Amino acid sequence: MRRLTSPLVYWEGDDDATSVETLKTEETPLAVVAPASEEEPGEPAGGDEGGRRRHARHRTPAAGRSLARRSLPWAVLLAAAAVAALLLRTYVFQSFYVPSASMEPTLYPGDRMIVVKIGLGTIHRGEVVVFRRPPGDKEDPGDEDLVKRVIGLPGQTIWSKGRTIYINGKPIAQPWLPKGEPPGAAIPRLKIPRNDYFVMGDNRPISYDSRFWHPHFVPRSYIIGEVVLVIWRHGHPYFKII
């Protein structure tokens, strides 16, 4: 660093001299002013380590804000996904398991099935539905949700003779039944009330269904949804459209 100098002028001789006898200069160093320190007041300079600590401290709030900004979209996305899953489960789709063998060979015990809730408009004969245990089912309190096939619709008259089921005096086709399966218990002549349904299991000899309940029917308000797909069977993924 270059050192600055300034001439210092003074007089030699008597105090009352009126002329300058000798003019001498002397190089006197001027103080060099160092740049203002970036140290915060009250902080001793600590070299590189102190600087790193200082800069790290200065970066911490900004880094925290940056992390929060990056995390916010993910938090919103996860919250939206949770809400969507809840809405789907509540109003659109839900998974159920088959509790018994009453629907064999269509469904087997332990099957996982997807039930569609939304858009459950007109219910048709032959559809497989999941419903809450109806008031007439007094002998199977262990299962709150049951699965059966719709056979009789509101306002119809139903009965059976042998393997044949009659609706309003006409026999109906039952392509879902295995050939040669015993008919099981007969259906007495019944008039299905308005907004009620007559349901049966496909495994007629063992199914405990509308033939045995008193009252015999499932109210419309008890029906949760229609079974559309099997996704799990015998301990592994399995896909079957119902």
Q: Closest by alpha carbon to 134, among 220, 210, 218?
A: 218
Determine the length of the chain.
Answer: 242
Whether 24 sits among the annotated catalytic residues: the reply is no
57 and 49 in contact (C-beta within 8 Å)?
no
DSSP 221: G
Active-site hit among 6, 66, 148, 191: 148
Q: Closest by alpha carbon to 160, among 129, 179, 138, 188?
A: 188
Burial of 140 (0-12, 13-18, 19+ CB in 10 A): middle
Active-site hit among 102, 160, 207, 210: 102
- Secondary element (H or E) of residue 115: strand 112-116
Whether 148 sits among the annotated catalytic residues: the reply is yes
DSSP 142: T
Active site residues: 102, 148
